[in-house]
Amino acid sequence: MSKINVGLIGLGTVGGGVLKVLKDNPDICIKKIAVRDINKKRDIDGLDTSILTNDPFSIVQDSDIDVVVEVMGGVNPALDLLESAVRNGKHVVTANKELLAKHGEELFKLANEKNVVILYEAAIAGGIPIIMPIKTTLAGNKIKKIAAILNGTTNYILTKMEESDVSYEEVLKEAQQLGYAEADPTGDVEGFDSAYKITTLATIALNQRVDINKVYREGITKISADDMKFAQELGYKIKLIALAEVNENNETDVRVHPMLVPETNILSTIHDVTNAVLVEGFPVGKVVFAGPGAGEMPTASSVVGDILAIQQNISAPEPLPMMRCHHKVNANQLNIADTTNKYYISLTAVNSPGVIGTIGEICGKHKINLSSVLQKGANSRENTAKIVIITESSKESNIQNAFSELNGNANIVKVNNLIRVME
């Protein structure tokens, strides 16, 4: 074991946490830190500003640096930087889920060629240990399914909507004021962040390369206070779920969208910014990993764990072989239209005799079996009624056809929402 030199690219939320945790570690020397603005005031005790640079390429080219830690984010220039670090024989630790989802294949291939490792525990579910457990402790398993809550911001928003019967827009504003949600929350609320994370998680867990471009993604912006209320009355919570599953035909289903989760499922009990990953495999059965999915110190915990794993193994001829990429096959990814799900459908209909019959007829025509139909109050002034349906398992393409036909029917004022239901 020897002391190693680390180059840190990024000193924001995560980088600041990493520096604080490693400050007094005798085995790690932070030799250089790249930031965008070296004159920015930073709230980090004892920061040696002489090691700051605004040239991150000087870090990946520095022959004294053993490990490059990228906690800057984004694809450019992160991709060039990490390719260059690997080409120069440096091990890499990154928290960058977007980069891994979009360019993981080429980066891992290059790392194998150069006999270095790229570790990324912090990129998926922040402080929750999930990558190393899947690659090592669970290595003897055939994992067939993952269902996870991988985004803290959206889970916080959904939890607050559930607790206080307020609209999505109001909670988002509050989350932004509290600093949970970013000024531009698109990446989180439209499901991009979860899609990046499940792409990499599914790739390693299912042991086949998943293409981010074929991952279906839908965010939480259409969830209303009514949906929250009706779901609760029916015994469900609404969560943004990232799913990955291989079926008996070896087709792989990877997607992110809101779901009604039964109150009996552990994922329904995950509140606020907490993340959770439910892994189902053989021989282990079901295992749940839960904890802080984001934030300075939880994310730093994962980054530092990766740095120390490299430090302890750096002298080996082939450091950390189990943590490398061993993928040989690409996933045969299912289109969302070919998936089968139960659905929650909320609609506003004209309040007159026979309307529920019309809805049943349209659903029947599209081979959709209804499990329950509930009228949730009438508006006598507008002569309308809200109707909530839960279907049996149905094919997505049939549901989409029924959705269009319901929307075009004279007795249906509007189909308010269509949300998949977890079994």
Q: Give the x/- contact pattern for ligand HSE in 167-196, rule: CB under 6 A.
A: ---------------------x----x---
**56 makes contact with ligand NAP (CB under 6 A):** yes
Residues of this chain, 190-229, that bind ligand HSE according to CB under 6 A: 193
Q: Choose from ligand NAP, ligand HSE, none: what does 151 bind? Cβ within 5-8 Å by kind.
A: ligand HSE
414 catalytic residue (yes or no): no
Backbone φ and ψ for 252, nearest 5 degrees, come out as -115, 130
Q: Judging by DSSP bridges, how do beta strands 252-262 and 412-421 pair with one another?
A: parallel
For tokens 């025509």, what's the residue? 365
CA atoms within 13 Å, Cβ hemisphere of 274: 14
Binding to ligand HSE by residue 152, rule CB under 6 A? Answer: yes
| Residue 153 binding: pick among ligand HSE, ligand NAP, none (C-beta 5-8 Å cut-off by kind) | ligand HSE
**Which of 280, 311, 163, 181 has the alpha carbon at shortest distance from 232?**
163
Q: Is 35 in the site for ligand NAP (CB under 6 A)?
A: yes
Q: Which of 194, 199, 299, 333 binds ligand NAP (CB under 6 A)?
A: 299
Q: Does 198 bind ligand NAP (CB under 6 A)?
A: no
DSSP lists the bridge partners of residue 315 as none
Q: Nearer Cβ to ligand HSE, position 62 or 188?
A: 188
Q: Which residues of 235-251 are buried (b: 16+ CB within 10 A; e: fewer)?
A: ebbbbbbbbbbbeeeee
96 binds ligand HSE (CB under 6 A): no
- Could you tell me how far CA 183 lies from the centroid of its own chain? 19
Nearer to ligand NAP, 53 or 313 (CB): 53
Query: Does 84 participate in binding ligand NAP (rule CB under 6 A)?
Result: no
220 within 8 A of 168, measured Cβ to Cβ: yes
Token pair recorded at residue 41: 């005031």
Which CB sits closer to ligand HSE, 151 or 348?
151
Instruction: Give 184's contacts (C-beta < 8 A, 6+ positions apart).
Output: none
Does residue 10 touch ligand NAP according to CB under 6 A? Answer: yes
* Selected catalytic residue, list 197, 239, 342, 386: 197
Q: Which residues of 130-164 are buried (b: 16+ CB within 10 A; e: fewer)?
A: bbbbbbeebeebebbbbbbbbbbbbbbbbbbbbee
Catalogue the active-site residues: 197
Query: Which residues in this chain contact ligand HSE in the complex, by CB under 6 A?
Result: 126, 151-153, 188, 193, 293-294
Q: Which residues bind ligand NAP (CB under 6 A)?
A: 10-15, 34-37, 40, 56, 71-73, 77, 95-97, 122-123, 126, 294-295, 299
